[in-house]
Structure 1
Amino acid sequence: MALEMGLWRADGSKLERIEPTSIGLESQLETYIESDPTMLGTSLLLIGRQVPTAHGGYVDLLAVDETGTVHVLELKRDKTPRDVTAQALDYGSWVSTLSRGDIVAIWNSYKPHKPFEVAFAEAFGDAPPEDLNTSQVFTIVAATVDAATERIVRFLNEGYGIPINVVFFRHFEDGGNRYLARTWLVDHEMQPTKSGSSGKQVKSKEPWNGQDWYCSFGDDGTSRNWVDAATHGFVSAGGQSWYSRTLKNLPVGGRVFACIPGSGYVGVGTVTGTATRFDQLKIDTGDGPIFLASLPLLGNYTRPGDEDDEIAEWAVPIEWTHTVPKAKAVWQKGMFANQNSVAKLRQAFTIEQVSTAFNLDD
């Protein structure tokens, strides 16, 4: 049974039905959605319009949400029930094979003057997730569909859990004012389909160069201070094993991008030794090795119970290539940040921005 949307003008105790019009609506929907994708009821960043596929045909609209799920938006226009559903699934199967680099390339063709990471951060308030396009959602956009299309979509969605749905728009005019009404065929809070379910691995993450690491340096000015780290050459973390555990992943020879949460990137350097308890780490001051903890430090790197290695502060010696004061930290929307003390730095955008700011390529 086809869905029907009604709109009535309430004038006192009298109701007058406003009849929908469809003149030109389906030809305008693509433009409407592009101008404001929130009209679909979900926060989306459009990454492409009329995107050519590898097998012929064009995806009407392609978008991502804040989780990195890719949304395939296919407009019904004058397609038959079989064509519109088959096309959405066909395009979706192609999208599921796209790597992270493919997704970014589609964006670059669509909006070449703004980095994808910046646009994502502006849309959702954070950098893109490391995993991108691990799942997909398929949406048919229409003014009306016939019973056969509804039947097919319900069968796939409700019977087999395929995340395909129909969003309906109806156009109303009343007294010179124009309105769009929206409804969904089935509950649109669907579980997206996962890429790689057929056994094919999709590269959803940026490749790691095997060298660069992100390090979060929690400078609160009291227990830990960036001036100490920049002056004496180290990064540190501790208080719980959750914080110090990842610090121990830093390999000798690895390159570290130090970031102060809430401020930005403040240093880049090379790891010169393995993780050691802060109170046991010796550094070379030029006059021979000396315990780091014996130096005049602004931070207090001790805490109650730190005789336990899991609570103690741990440090890794770093030979800094470039550092800046906390007040001059480098940050831009879309840059990589992570809740772990140390993580592999895959995001080329962050590496490029920091390298440029620190003149590392010179």
Structure 2
Amino acid sequence: MAVQQGIWKISQSADAKPQALREIKLENEALLEQQIVKDISILNAHWLLIGQQVTTDFGKKIDLLAVDASGSVIVIELKKDRTPRDVVAQTIDYASWVETLTSDRLSRIYAEFAVKQGLSSQSLDEVFRQKFSMVLSEDDLNSSHQMVIVAAELDASTERIITYLNDKASVAVNAVFFSVFEDNGHQYLSRAWMIDPLETEEHAVNTSAKGHWNGELYCSFGAGPGSRNWEDAIEYGFVSGGGGRWYSKTLLDVSPGDRLWVNIPGTGYVGVAEVTASAVMADEFITEDMALKGSYARAEDVGEDNAEFFVGVKWLHTETQSTAFSEVGLFGNQNTIARPRDKKWDHTVERLKQVWMIK
């Protein structure tokens, strides 16, 4: 199904019709690549660009590499003069190479990119922390990957292939379409995703999962100055996440009766709770009688995508941040809610049960 885009200029006069801007051809895809390098939010505001024209071990060059807050690596390929099927096959081939990269190799790729771009920091750990306000976990980095094809359009056959890979094979591949419009000598860029990017991210997480899920939910609670507050969560019985759909989307999959174990990144595990209510936005959850110490964005102020979402819980055990439980070998992840399928998570849950005497 072809994706059509358009931009209309709204007149200040109530009697005038909206004026459709003229669509023009993007003459140089290298220019689009440079625009993305200058501002990765053109694709996704929650990605960090770490490489451009990255040379693979078999002599090919990947247009762009990025990571998201979960450590997932994103392979970004511009269609350029290749046929649609060729670019899909090439992107999958690149992803098979990216999957083999160690954290050290990815750090070197970023350092080379930073030097070429004249960036102030050549440390992937440092820029990741600055971008996401989180510590980059070596276990999370490249634990999954995604593929994104950038094009003006794709043929119907290629779109069917991408849809099939996502829906049937759970392969995290997506396409984003750009159009250019002109008005009085000014050019404007329009973007449309073929598949909701959140679906692709979910496939990336599922693809990387190994082993059996033990039925226990992991929760990352990003407490900090000017943000959510752990004492609020204890007193009013909630966990929350927000600041973008990436941070809030997993809360929507939580159901009453689920049990979750709460970790404050950089601090340690601080509680375990049973979910009592499904996720709602701050506007609905917060009441006037709550004396909240933290800051929680409301949809009426920042829009639904950036609003804080709350899940009501009954605490089974809590710790203060100063008594949080932390030791080597415990599971950590940047997703607000996760269903880990690895032995480290099994160990973490059993260890917390032992320490907190939870059945």
TM norm structure 2: 0.54
Is the contact between residue 135 and residue 192 of structure 1 (CA under 8 Å) also seen in structure 2?
no
Is the contact between residue 267 and residue 324 of structure 2 (CA under 8 Å) also seen in structure 1?
no
Is the contact between residue 267 and residue 326 of structure 2 (CA under 8 Å) also seen in structure 1?
no
Q: Partner of 2:122 in structure 1?
A: 114
Query: How far apart are the structure 1 equivalents of 2:65 and 2:155?
Result: 24
- Inter-CA distance 180–147: structure 2 relative to 1 (3 Å threshold): same
Is the contact between residue 166 and residue 203 of structure 2 (CA under 8 Å) also seen in structure 1?
no
1:83 to 81, 86, 97: 86
Deviations 1:272-316 (A, max 9, x none): xxxxxxxxxxxxxxxxxxxxxxxxxxxxxxxxxxxxxx99xxxxx
Query: How far apart are the structure 1 equivalents of 2:20 and 2:30?
Result: 25
Query: How far apart are the structure 1 equivalents of 2:267 and 2:61?
Result: 44
Q: Partner of 1:343 in structure 2?
A: 328
Q: Partner of 2:152 in structure 1?
A: 143
Shift, 1:63, TM fit? 0.7
Q: Partner of 1:277 in structure 2?
A: none
Percent identity, aligned pairs only, is: 39
2:30 to 22, 27, 52: 27
Deviations 1:227-249 (A, max 9, x none): xxxxxxxxxxxxxxx9xxxxxxx
For these two proteins, the number of residue pairs brought into alignment is 215
Shift, 1:152, TM fit? 1.8
Q: Partner of 2:50 in structure 1?
A: 47
Shift, 1:81, TM fit? 1.6
Is the contact between residue 137 and residue 193 of structure 1 (CA under 8 Å) also seen in structure 2?
yes
CA RMSD of aligned residues (A): 3.2
- Inter-CA distance 196–97: structure 2 relative to 1 (3 Å threshold): farther
Is the contact between residue 25 and residue 171 of structure 1 (CA under 8 Å) also seen in structure 2?
no
- Inter-CA distance 340–109: structure 2 relative to 1 (3 Å threshold): farther
Shift, 1:126, TM fit? 1.9
Query: How far apart are the structure 1 equivalents of 2:52 and 2:324?
Result: 34
Higher helix share: 2
Q: Partner of 2:108 in structure 1?
A: 105
Query: How far apart are the structure 2 equivalents of 1:84 and 1:39?
Result: 21
Shift, 1:27, TM fit? 2.3
1:32 aligned partner, one-letter code: Q
Hey, which bits of structure 1, 4+ residues long, moved more than 4 A? 194-199
Shift, 1:198, TM fit? 9.9
Shift, 1:37, TM fit? 0.6
Gap runs ≥5 in structure 1: 200-241, 243-258, 262-309, 312-337, 346-362
Higher strand share: 1
Query: How far apart are the structure 2 equivalents of 1:127 and 1:72?
Result: 22
Q: Give the greater-gyration-radius structure (CA).
A: 1
Q: Partner of 2:301 in structure 1?
A: none
TM norm structure 1: 0.53
